[in-house]
Structure 1
């Protein structure tokens, strides 16, 4: 029997558009002989609708203007947990699996995972704890610290502290680090709100920008090195892919460099010593287990110039699935096309 699969996409985060592109890739890879697909679009205002357009043409600029039926997931319903409100008719459907294709807050951070746990519906990806921990960069750093894996040193500030004046924060940063430094909202994805500062003016400006995106802000020392990513797949016995290298067109891999600059490049099978690759893979799996990961994650590192030391950057529990995203490309390079990858993610969700 075919599985009823709900794909949730869109959402209320700053990564709304990227979520739509990721969902398009995933839904196009799903075999209609195996799955009954129900795409549920979450608008920026939080409204849920059953997307009734052509999945192959899904694009944020082309979300149909015509009215889409309202939709909802109903926890505890015995006679169908996906509710579709079509004109005067209410349709109830049983759901076998949900794929929550959200990036960032209100989706990748444990919130939608909590709803699905209450509803008792299997879902692709990490659970509530891992999703929340990985979304919060400061919490993830504290969890990884006991593993003995090197990280960039950091300082933490609150948005309320910064909005009252950045002078004290700038002074503290300058006493601790040399320029340049990176400023990051603790809970923003796709490098939204992230900036690089080379002096006190840029630092003050970056702190204020980051404070607009989250109530916690992190300032990190700059690591000079190559940016690499490793894909992890599995539940209790996860496995790591080979590694990919990021060659950003900009000064660093910010939102525009990732999604709007064609000169940014991703390289599969970059030239690294075997022991460096093995170290990255080992660290990726250990970090995945440390946060209680499940299903999938992409773990990002630096390989420091001069020392070749592996430095943990961050972990993403629902990485991008766009045409330029590293996670599916890394598994493609391992001989697993995206259709098989989606099948495996669904199998892992049912197993879990």
Structure 2
């Protein structure tokens, strides 16, 4: 059997660089190397692309930067006689059959690198330009969800220019629209980076200033007494949803450290919800995915109000975490699809999307 050449692309310039390293190390460990020749291409925090060949441990701990082979040429732009692929020092060129981005956050999950992949004309894993950009932008995504009739908590928004020039007026507007607690989120960031829960005006001011470090547009959401429910989706046109899982945060909310570092939160898979609610959430996850023109994979997050029982969609993550404690592979495993099979499915979906 001829092996497919698969290039894992990881790292990147976003604040989620370290998350990408953890996800990539896990995928590299689990991918079936009897089926695939795996090439690992890292992007440094300052945007340099480098070829690395070695163990997943050195990807995870960041040592790949020092061990990368700087004499290997990476070319993704078809031009003249230059082939798309990886050119080694001896002149050998390995063409890439499938690009597998493992890049979370800006420059990797927001449609920018997907545009490069489209130009390269090489099949790639995951959502395309439109779905990636919409899914990454919490504000635009909320407007899309409203259009397709998915329920959401009350929200408002501001931007750096308005806030810097009319700080007190903007704070007044937010407090008039929402009650405390209020969640503050950068519009374009994932993995809970830059998110804070605020309970008074001083915390709100600090939270907005923190979020503005990551983006010029800020989303503010009404905090509710919520259960946090997640669903994994997989597919191009025939989309499937996993059983839902429930996160039980160790803190006020499921933050970056808990997701990727200490893993202190617990979870239930399947979530302890009735079958009607489970069915509704899985259906809404597929609707959300199709609503942004998703392909390949996403994780869709929901809230269930503990007081009213109402279900609200929170957000969609078009390139969810793949670490050993990430919910996406765990939910599929409980649904009957193991980690290796997820990877196989994603590669097949990438190839099918270009037929």
The answer (yes or no) to whether the contact 1:276–1:308 under 8 Å persists in 2 is no
Distance 1:80 1:24 in 2: 28
Distance 1:165 1:92 in 2: 56
Secondary structure at 2:243 match in 1: strand
The answer (yes or no) to whether the contact 2:233–2:241 under 8 Å persists in 1 is yes
Question: Which residue of structure 2 aligns with residue 72 of structure 1?
Answer: 74
Map 1:16-55 → 2, pairs under 5 A: 16-55=17-56
In the alignment, is residue 180 of structure 1 matched against residue 181 of structure 2? yes
* Bigger shift: residues 256-265 or 209-218: 256-265
Secondary structure at 2:244 match in 1: strand
Map 1:246-257 → 2, pairs under 5 A: 246-257=247-258
Distance 2:73 2:224 in 1: 46
1:245-302 deviation per Cα after TM superposition (whole angstroms, max 9, x unaligned):
1111111112122223342122211210100000100100001000000000000000
Task: Count residues with an aligned counterpart.
Answer: 350
Secondary structure at 2:299 match in 1: strand
1:174-209 deviation per Cα after TM superposition (whole angstroms, max 9, x unaligned):
111111100000001101111111000000111111
Runs ≥4 in structure 1, deviation > 3 angstroms? 83-86
Distance 2:154 2:88 in 1: 51
Question: Which residue of structure 1 aligns with residue 317 of structure 2?
Answer: 316
Map 1:152-191 → 2, pairs under 5 A: 152-191=153-192
1:206-263 deviation per Cα after TM superposition (whole angstroms, max 9, x unaligned):
1111111111111111122100100000001101000111111111112122223342
Distance 1:267 1:182 in 2: 24
The answer (yes or no) to whether the contact 2:21–2:62 under 8 Å persists in 1 is no
Q: Which TM-score applies when normalising by structure 2?
A: 0.95
* Bigger shift: residues 157-166 or 215-224: 157-166
Distance 2:196 2:184 in 1: 5
Question: Which residue of structure 2 aligns with residue 289 of structure 1?
Answer: 290
* Bigger shift: residues 41-50 or 73-82: 73-82
Map 1:132-143 → 2, pairs under 5 A: 132-143=133-144
Distance 1:306 1:215 in 2: 34
Question: Which residue of structure 2 aligns with residue 218 of structure 1?
Answer: 219
Secondary structure at 2:20 match in 1: helix
Root-mean-square deviation (Å):
1.5
Question: Which residue of structure 1 aligns with residue 197 of structure 2?
Answer: 196
Deviation at 1:317, TM superposition (A): 0.4
Distance 2:158 2:147 in 1: 22
Distance 1:345 1:67 in 2: 27
The answer (yes or no) to whether the contact 1:163–1:211 under 8 Å persists in 2 is no
Deviation at 1:140, TM superposition (A): 0.4
The answer (yes or no) to whether the contact 2:11–2:43 under 8 Å persists in 1 is yes
Gap regions ≥5 residues in structure 1: none
Question: Which residue of structure 1 aligns with residue 350 of structure 2?
Answer: 349
1:77-97 deviation per Cα after TM superposition (whole angstroms, max 9, x unaligned):
5653123464xx554321100
The answer (yes or no) to whether the contact 2:157–2:217 under 8 Å persists in 1 is yes
Question: Which residue of structure 2 aligns with residue 81 of structure 1?
Answer: 84
Question: Which residue of structure 2 aligns with residue 241 of structure 1?
Answer: 242
Going from structure 1 to structure 2, the CA distance change for 1:64 and 1:75 (only over 3 Å counts) comes to closer
Deviation at 1:57, TM superposition (A): 4.6
The answer (yes or no) to whether the contact 1:48–1:71 under 8 Å persists in 2 is no
